[in-house]
Amino acid sequence: MGPNQPQGKRKRNLTFWATIGLFLLTFGKNAFMILKSAKFLTPFLTMLVSVGAYALIAPLEFAIGFVILILIHELGHVWAAKIKGFPVTAPLFIPFIGALIMLKRNPRDAQTEAFIAFGGPLIGSLGALVFLWLGLAFGNGLLIQLAYLGLLMNLINLLPIHPLDGGRISVAVSRWLWLFGLIGGLILIVFYLRSILFFIIWAMFAWSLFNQYVLKKRRDGQRGQLGGRFQVAIDEAMMPSWFVPGENHRRELPWETYSSLDGQQTVEFRWDGIELEGKLDLPTQCLVDRVHVTDIRHLYEDGRMVGFEVEVSVDARIHENDRYYEVEPAVRWAYGAAYATLALAIIGVMLWIHQLLGISGLN
């Protein structure tokens, strides 16, 4: 850079911190909500760790800027989740991988999942454009390079591969996009990205598809049985004199089943004769056929109290609910158009930046 290096460096520092200031103003509300919460400590510390990790391989200013771009992307997911009324955890940063937020309850349909997923690349790309604007305004090559990297990060996230955002957006467009991600993603990883991390992500995605569309289809409709043992003590005077259940006693029990917001299905049952009430958690979503007693043991008789141990079994059929993926055609077209438009816009801006950096030689 020659004799102008000190002045150029001061100018670069000024524009860099101006970027941070503009970011805080733009996303001030979300930043304030995080800062005033005690839960901010964990994301703040993981941000510092990520900055330190990236600073080992790049200048500190670059590391800070890149982590800010990741934060903007994650705040996009937070913003989208808030619109849909879903509580989320604070962002957790993982060096050389990125960051993540967790929904405190799962979406009930593909459209909601896609909306929350779309928020990250959309807001993340807008944040990268802010970096680009400031870089151009102040002639700062570092900010322009960060903008390019931020756009690339969001473009990669649009690949139709779970658990990337594109894989989640695809559920509201067409699950056939997963096939494109399976084949095209592997080609991109092998010949362009050449990243072990992305290959691991691709391999996990391939296995999940095999498990969902091969193994689960084989299991769908298969019958299974889940059982548990329950102990109960009742007052002998409260039992009918004619009713003393023996070890060979069998009966069906009245039951009801429900699923919690996180998808856990539970079966509750009762046996009024011995005042037994119990519940069993199913390992996966099932269609319950019946709940019945398979074994009963007389444990003790202590004065007026009688103790029993009852084995109860739940007969059910494994079932996968495909209604999750039911989306109106107009909504599919809307998400598809938004998905393609965002991807093409990112590619177009990246090509323009690439040409700009090649011509101007900004640094």
- pLDDT tens digits for range 218-231: 555 566 677 888 88
Is residue 26 situated within a structural domain? yes
Q: For residues 227 and 211, state if they share a domain.
A: no
Task: Give the structural domain span for 249.
Answer: 223-319
pLDDT value, residue 334: 95
pLDDT value, residue 211: 80
Is residue 293 situated within a structural domain? yes
Is residue 67 situated within a structural domain? yes
Is residue 14 situated within a structural domain? yes
Is residue 278 situated within a structural domain? yes
pLDDT value, residue 113: 93
Q: For residues 122 and 237, state if they share a domain.
A: no
Taking residues 102-126, what's their average pLDDT? 91
Q: For residues 35 and 163, state if they share a domain.
A: yes
Q: For residues 107 and 230, state if they share a domain.
A: no
Q: For residues 139 and 274, state if they share a domain.
A: no
pLDDT value, residue 306: 74
The percent of residues in the chain predicted with pLDDT above 90, rounded, is 33
Q: What is the pLDDT of residues 281-334, one digit of tens each?
A: 887 778 888 898 888 887 777 767 777 788 888 888 776 666 778 889 999 999
pLDDT value, residue 236: 66
Q: How many structural domains compose the chain?
A: 2
Q: What is the average pLDDT value for the chain, to the nearest integer? A: 82
Q: For residues 168 and 145, state if they share a domain.
A: yes
Q: For residues 172 and 310, state if they share a domain.
A: no
Is residue 331 situated within a structural domain? no
Q: What is the pLDDT of residues 263-282, one digit of tens each?
A: 688 999 988 877 788 888 88
Cα–Cα distance, 121 to 114 (Å, whole number): 11
Q: For residues 237 and 294, state if they share a domain.
A: yes
Q: For residues 163 and 60, state if they share a domain.
A: yes
